[in-house]
Amino acid sequence: MLNIVLFGPPGAGKGTQAERIKNQYSLIHLSTGDIFRYNIKESTDLGVMAKEFMDKGELVPDQVTIKMLESEVNKHPESSGFIFDGFPRTTQQAKALDDFLSSKNLSITKMIALEVPNDELISRLFLRGKQSGRADDQDKSIIANRIKVYENQTAVLAEYYKAQNKLATVNGVGSVDEITRRLYRSIDI
Ligand code: B4P
């Protein structure tokens, strides 16, 4: 079973690349950002709560996010693996994911970190904001806060997986196709 964490700052291309990796390796793609956005669109209780944090560029609280992720994994008992996109984002989430998978005799195979400089992240997200109308991509101060939250709370997870010998890094600058090829090479090693 192949279980991949696709990691990187906001706008690194996790969502874009996860769509391709999912098809190539027949994995279930779980994007916590997409699940929250679906709940916001449907005005569920979870969506109303998550919106308050996402609109400010803050993380949704761990307890809620972990519970939601576990319930999504449990919906796919027959899957041949998962690609986790945007999760984990805190040390508490990473530990909870390890414990949860190990209770099912599963584990993370590899964490792949997409590396992209901040100026490129900001221009990608701002462009998407103009094209898609996504609220958290339209304001440069919210984008800057998301990058700050990533640096303060999420970046440390690279060390967490490195200590388990599971970290791989991939240059996330270039065409989408080029980056996909780099990711496949990293997975196939
Ligand atoms: P996410 O939905 O995870 O969004 P993201 O980090 O902004 O985007 P991603 O890296 O997937 O970028 P994408 O491929 O789309 O999170 C949104 C919010 O949800 C968070 O701020 C937080 O509030 C909440 N949340 C989610 N997970 C959580 C968790 N675990 N815990 C707590 N809160 C959580 O690419 C971005 C843009 O770049 C696109 O427009 C794309 O077309 C473009 N692009 C991609 N590759 C490119 C390339 N090679 N060259 C040029 N442009 C490229």
Give tens-digit pLDDT for 25-71: 999 999 999 999 999 999 999 999 999 999 999 999 999 999 999 99
In sequence order, which residues have a C-beta less than 8 Å from that of residue 17 and are 6 or more positions away? Answer: 6, 114, 176, 179, 180, 183
Each residue's pLDDT tens digit, 107-157: 999 999 999 999 999 999 999 999 998 889 999 999 999 999 999 999 999
- CA 84 to ligand 1 centroid distance, Å: 12
- CA 189 to ligand 1 centroid distance, Å: 26
* Number of domain units in the chain: 1
Instruction: Provide the residue range defining the domain that includes 177.
Output: 2-188
**Does 134 qualify as catalytic in the annotation?**
yes
Longest dimension (CA), the chain: 44
Antiparallel, parallel or unpaired: β 110-115 and 81-85: unpaired
As a whole number of angstroms, the distance between CA 8 and CA 170 comes to: 10
As a whole number of angstroms, the distance between CA 115 and CA 117 comes to: 7
